[in-house]
Amino acid sequence: MPFIMSRVNIKIPKNKELMLKKRLGLAIANVPGKSEDVLMVGFQDNYPLYLRGKGDEPLAYIEVSIFGTENHIGYEGLNADITKAFYDILGIQPDHLYIKYDDISSWGVQGQYIDRRDYL
């Protein structure tokens, strides 16, 4: 039940959004037990972002929320693949992209409340 939300300060054409969606679906497989089948993604383009006081170059802020992965296995590969996807598809330089990771201990999905403690 991962969720990846990205905010970029440039326009994302629909074809590039679909390319990113596909690449993020492949990237999440770095985390054991996660796949595109359970991934939700969101995109917000033309979002005002500034880095080092400037906002005239392509920038991205990405949040990755993952349920039940407190040991962060696979995050290094996930991070590399996300960074590469945004560079390859949108031309966002790796030093112009920040990724925030959230460990989700409880989640509501399909009308059910799920708590990680129930799996321990």
The structure's pTM equals 0.91
List, in order, residues 6 or more apart from 25 with CB less than 8 Å away. Answer: 35, 36, 39, 41
pLDDT, tens digit (0-9, with 9 covering 90-100), for 73-84: 999 999 999 999
Which residue positions in the chain have pLDDT lower than 70? 116, 119-120
Which domains can be identified in the chain, with CATH numbers?
A: 3-119 (3.30.429.10)
